[in-house]
Every structure is written in C-alpha cells, then in structure tokens.
Structure 1
Amino acid sequence: MSSVCGIYKRFEAHLLMIIAQFGYTFLYFITEASFNHGMNVQVYVTYRHFVGGLVMWPLAYFLERKSRPKLTFALFFEIFVLSLLGVSLTLNMYFASLRYTSPTFLASMVNTIASMTFIIAVVIRIEKLDVKSLHGIAKMVGTLVSLAGVTVMTSYKGPRVRNLWNALIHIQGNTIHEDWVKGSLLTVASCITWSIWYIMQASTLKRYPAQLSLTTWMSLLGGLQSAVFAAIVERDPKAWTVGFNIDMWSIIYAGVVCSGVIIFIQLWCTKEKGPVFVTMFNPLSTVFVAILAYSVFGEKLYVGSVLGGVMVIIGLYLVLWGKEADQTTSDMPSQECQERKEDNLKEVLQV
C-alpha cells in the first residue's frame, strides 16, 4: 500500500492533467453544439465564468480563509491582467474561431501553446535547458516531435480510416465554416496570449499561493471583462436569454468543470511542476478529440491524424521524462547526480 501511495504521489500531477484534458475534450463538442444552436460567443464566455466564479467562491472563502495572502492593489491589478489574457480576451478569440473552423482544427492548434510556452520559459530562464545533458536533449527533441505531430495532423490527411459503425450522437445544427483564414488568425492570436498567461501564472502564484482564490478571482474578473465587451458587441437583449436547452448545459459544464475545477488543477500543477509541464499535456486533447469525433460523432478520420497523434504522445513522453529526470537530479548531491547521469547514459546505450 505504501508503494502504491508513493507511485500515486509521484504521478499525481500527471494524472490530474490527463483528467483535465478529458474535460476539455468534451468542451469542444458541447460548445460547438451550443453555437450551432445560436448561442452568442461573448455571452457564453461571460455566463460561463460567472458560473465558475460563483461555484468556486465558497470553497475559496472557507478553505483558504487563513492561508490566503492579503490582496494589495498591485496584486489585484496583476490578477486583472491575468484574467484578461487567460479568460476574457483569449477565450473570446478562441471560441469565435470555432465558428469559422472545427473542433479538431481548434484542438490541434492549441498544441502550439506548449512550444510557445517552452520557448518563452527558456528565454526568460524559468525553464532549464541544458543541451549538453541527455535530459535537456529529450525535452528539446520531445517539443519538436510533438510540434511535428501537430503539423502532421493539421496539414496531412492521407487515406481515410473507414468508420466501423454509424455515429452514436449527432451534433445539433450545421456549422458553416465561413472563413478559415479569419478563424486561423483568431486561433493563433489566442494561443499567443494563452502562452503568456501560463507564464504569468507561475509568477503570480509565488506572491498569491492560493489556487482556489486565484481561480475565483480570474473567473469573476474575466466574466466582468467579457460582459463589458459583450455589451459593446451584442446590442440585442434577447441574446442574453438562455433557455433550458443545450445552451444552459454548455454554460454549466464549461463554468463548473472548465473554468472552475480544471483551472484549479492547472494552477496547482503549475505551482508544483511549472507552466511548461502543464502545457505539454495540451496535445492529448487533440488525440482525445479525434478519437471521440470518430467513434461517437461519426466524423471522418484520416491516417495523418493517427500518425500525428502517435508522434504527439511520443513527444509528450520525451518532455515529461526530461523534466522528471531534471527534477530528480536537482535534488541529489553532486556526486550522486553524476552517477545517476552515467547510469542513464548506460541504459540508453544498451537500448
């Protein structure tokens, strides 16, 4: 039992991030169905984060009442900017692009966040990259392999994989992909701001190490920011009316699961493992979306998607192995660290 607990403790962050990617996977499809039903993007983002903030507020208030640091004006302004980059600005662009593209394309493009975050983190020196060590090479090669896998999934189709059964679920409505160029630009812009958001999280958590409270603040502030933007863009009062249908369920799911639970998981993992670790799990959602789209929603699946998905997983494994090895060796004495490196090199040569 102690060994099982030890293994769980070691891979706790890994398991939580995999669960988070499962949560994001369902988000793509339920959101697309809601938009096809006529839900306004800005109204959706606003309601979603108000729901997330209201759900997380009681937990943050009672569980972090004694450990929560004092909120100064400078720290509040930092959280305000963090909410703008990671919630209102980013998600408005991100979900607006879904109207012009598709869930599979959107999930694939999100994987560039990992590479962007890794590069930014190395440049500002919050992520170590020793190109002379085996671990550093693994992280660099893993990032490139994962990015290559994403490129294959988005640019190469190949032969179609035959569907073994009919679609189990049909998404309501027909999405009209009006402008792929506009959708691509919106997606790329959202990925850039998202990368900056992940980097800023690591910095903010050092001064405000209260993940539940930070999640609540970002949701509420992001909802307010999005509400102002929605009021400017959307003048029709009927757009703010949500019936007891797919629109309401998408808002509740996105608010509770994605803006609440998953953001808290990401903040905790960022504090424990760093922003690069968190973003390196984003490619899994691409694989999950492709599998779900093929097996449940009956979308077409091509060999290129399968090949790219395998490359993504290989790249993810290399990066995680490199980071895990770096963290292990950093806690060892210098002599033991050197012996560990030599043992790793022998294992690789034997393979």
Structure 2
Amino acid sequence: RLHCALILAQAGFAGFEILSRITLDQGAGKFAFSFYRNCVATVVLAIGAYLFERRKWRTLTLVVTINLFFLSLAGVTLNQVLYLAGLEYTSPVFASAMRNTTPVLTFILAWIFRLEVVRLKRVDGVAKVIGCLLGILGSIFLSVYRGPIVIQSTFKFPNVKEKGDKGFYKQVHIQFIGLLDDMVPAKTIGSIYLILSCLAFSVFLIFQAKLLLKFEAPISCAAFMCLFSTTQFSSLFFLFEPENSKWKITKSEIISIFYSGFIASGFVSGVQSWAIHQGGPVIVSTYQPLETTITAILGFFFLKETLYMGSILGGIIVILGLYMLIWGQSQHHKY
C-alpha cells in the first residue's frame, strides 16, 4: 500500500506540472491561480483535519498559530509563486528536475543550523558531502548547458500552446535597481526562480519538523497554512497583478485549479505525511525522481517537449546526488 500510494502521489503531482504550464500559457495570473488553488486546498484539508485530528486541536496555541503563519509564507506562498514563475520561463520537465535539489538544500540548511551531523572520517559523512556537491553541480549543469537534441516530440495536443525553443531559450530584458540592465536567457531566469522556490521549501521543511513536535497534527497544520496563504496571495495579487481580468477564470482554468487543490495540495500532501509516518522521510524522498520521469513522458505527448542532452545529464546528476545523500543518511542511522 505504501509504495502504491507514493507512486500515485508522484503521478498526481506530475499532472499538476503539466496543467500548470498549460494554464500559465493561457494567460492565467500566478497569484490568482495560487489563490484559488489554496482556497480549494484549505477546504479539502480542513475536512481531513476535522475527521482525523480534531481531538488534537486543543494543543493549538497563539505561538503555534503565529509560527504557522510564517511557515505558510515560506513553504506555501513564496514556494508556489517562485515555482510558477520559474515554470513560466522554463518547462515542466526542467522544473521537475530542479525540484530534486530540495533534499540537498534541506540537508545543507540543517547542517548550517546544526540539526544534521556530518562526520567526514566516516563513509556516510563523505557520501552526504558528495551527494550535496552532485546536487549543486547538477542544478548548475541544468541552468547553463543545453547540448544537442536527444528526443524531439512530434505530438501536439489540441488547444495547447506549444512551448518550444522560442520560449525556453529566448533572451529576456532584465532591469534591477540600476545594477543590472541586460538581455538574459529565459532559462537562466527560470533557474533562479526555481532554486529560490526549493530554498523556501527547504526552510519550511526544517522549521515544520520543529513545529510538529509542539502541535502533532500535520493535516491541520497544512490546512491552516493554506488558509493563511490565501490572505497572503490576495495581498500580493493586488500589489503585482491589479488587473481585474486576472481574477476571471475560464473552464479549463477551473479544472486546473480544482486538480491543483485536490491533488497537488490535498492528496499529495496527505499521502506524503502518512508515508513519512509509516516508512520515514527517506522512502518518500526516493520516489521524487519518479515524478520527473512521469513529467517528461506527459510533456512529450501533451506539450511537444524537446529533450536536450543538458536537461537529461543535469537531471541524472541531481538524482545521483539525491540518492547519494539518502544513502549517507540511512548509513548514518545504522551507527
């Protein structure tokens, strides 16, 4: 049951990657899309929290509530908006491959905050360091190297805008407070957004683990954070996307919003929380590369994605680093 549930969860999130890309191409606003998505997720998770965790609500304090607000800012709001911004400039396969760096960044932050021990005189310590270096190297490789075409899709799904090379490798004019005024590849901008998204989620994972020791109700935590994120997204929406047209959603966007709320935020979060409780975080992390594979297959058929040597090699390096890190952590716990 555990392995089947994790496979379904990764397949579900891969579908979210594709639908999000399609929705953004159709002109949906990042903040509006995330706002509606988290409204749906709040309802789904609140029902789950009431059914399974309502007896634990008495341990909810003001301090825990404040912590949940700031956790939602990092793990939900910043994570989602940076991820969608990165996805808009790149592709679902590329974004999915970048997400594999999250465990590496989480480990580095945990080591900085002295929550993780690295003993370089032992094999497990060396494996952790090599895994981190491979993860960083792979993400850089993904960002800067293109290489030749390996697989070029000839499929074209009806009513779906083709991304192609024009969007992925086009030059974008960037201005930043007088310090930067230049043409930058869209892929580079997207990579920066995606790394920042992974970093925000890594910070969230570290501090969430501490919070769950005080309030042992993961579904309730997720529900509160999605609720808080709706207020945060509404504020960001009025600041950065004030056009009224961005609030309007089409029928296809409604499908994406409900899918994202029910599956990506509801089902996947619930399965991962349950799987961590049943088998530990290591088993959950090992299934992450499966999502990248499924996303590549779906993108090939639905988005006419072209796979380049750089994306494949970079993704492989990141995945090797991930498994090296996981192996090192598993060996560490044996001593």
Aligned letter for 1:234? E
Q: Deviations over 1:42-89 (max 9, x none)?
A: 110000001001012112112112234421111100000011111123
Match of 1:231 among 234, 238, 242: 238
Is the 8 Å Cα contact of residues 160 and 303 (structure 2) preserved in structure 1? Answer: no
Cα distance, 1:321 vs structure 2:
2.4
What SS is found at the alignment partner of 1:64? helix
Q: Say if 1:186 and 1:324 are closer, same or farther in 2 by CA, change over 3 A.
A: closer
**Map 1:41-80 → 2, pairs under 5 A:** 41-80=30-69
Q: Say if 1:195 and 1:162 are closer, same or farther in 2 by CA, change over 3 A.
A: closer
Match of 2:87 among 94, 98, 114: 98
Q: Say if 1:203 and 1:167 are closer, same or farther in 2 by CA, change over 3 A.
A: same
Cα distance, 1:260 vs structure 2:
1.4
Match of 2:125 among 132, 136, 148: 136
**What is the aligned partner in structure 2 of residue 320 from structure 1?**
326
Cα RMSD after superposing both structures: 2.9
Is 1:33 matched up with 2:39?
no
What SS is found at the alignment partner of 1:161? strand
**Map 1:238-257 → 2, pairs under 5 A:** 238-244=245-251, 246-257=252-263
Aligned letter for 1:172? V
The whole-number CA distance in structure 2 between the counterparts of 1:127 and 1:21 is: 27
Aligned letter for 2:20? T
**What is the aligned partner in structure 2 of residue 308 from structure 1?**
314
Aligned letter for 2:78? L
The whole-number CA distance in structure 2 between the counterparts of 1:104 and 1:77 is: 36
Aligned letter for 1:219? C
| TM-score of the pair, normalised by structure 1 | 0.78
**Structure number with bigger Rg:** 1
Structure 1 gap ranges (5+): 1-7, 331-351
Is the 8 Å Cα contact of residues 127 and 328 (structure 2) preserved in structure 1? Answer: yes
Is the 8 Å Cα contact of residues 48 and 251 (structure 1) preserved in structure 2? Answer: yes
What SS is found at the alignment partner of 1:126? coil
- Of 317-326 and 72-81, more deviation after overlay is shown by 317-326
Is the 8 Å Cα contact of residues 42 and 230 (structure 1) preserved in structure 2? Answer: yes
Cα distance, 1:15 vs structure 2:
6.5
Q: Deviations over 1:330-351 (max 9, x none)?
A: 5xxxxxxxxxxxxxxxxxxxxx
Match of 1:292 among 269, 294, 298: 298
Relative contact order (C-alpha < 8 Å, sep 6+): which is higher?
2
What SS is found at the alignment partner of 2:59? coil
The whole-number CA distance in structure 1 between the counterparts of 2:277 and 2:213 is: 8
| TM-score of the pair, normalised by structure 2 | 0.81
**What is the aligned partner in structure 1 of residue 134 from structure 2?**
145
Q: Deviations over 1:254-278 (max 9, x none)?
A: 1111111222344455667877876
Identical amino acids, percent of aligned pairs? 32
What SS is found at the alignment partner of 1:67? helix
- Of 198-207 and 256-265, more deviation after overlay is shown by 256-265
Aligned letter for 2:56? S
The whole-number CA distance in structure 1 between the counterparts of 2:330 and 2:5 is: 16
What SS is found at the alignment partner of 2:89? coil
Q: Deviations over 1:78-120 (max 9, x none)?
A: 0000111111233123212333333333333333333221111
What SS is found at the alignment partner of 2:54? coil
**What is the aligned partner in structure 1 of residue 147 from structure 2?**
158
**Map 1:15-30 → 2, pairs under 5 A:** 19-30=8-19
Structure 2 gap ranges (5+): 173-185
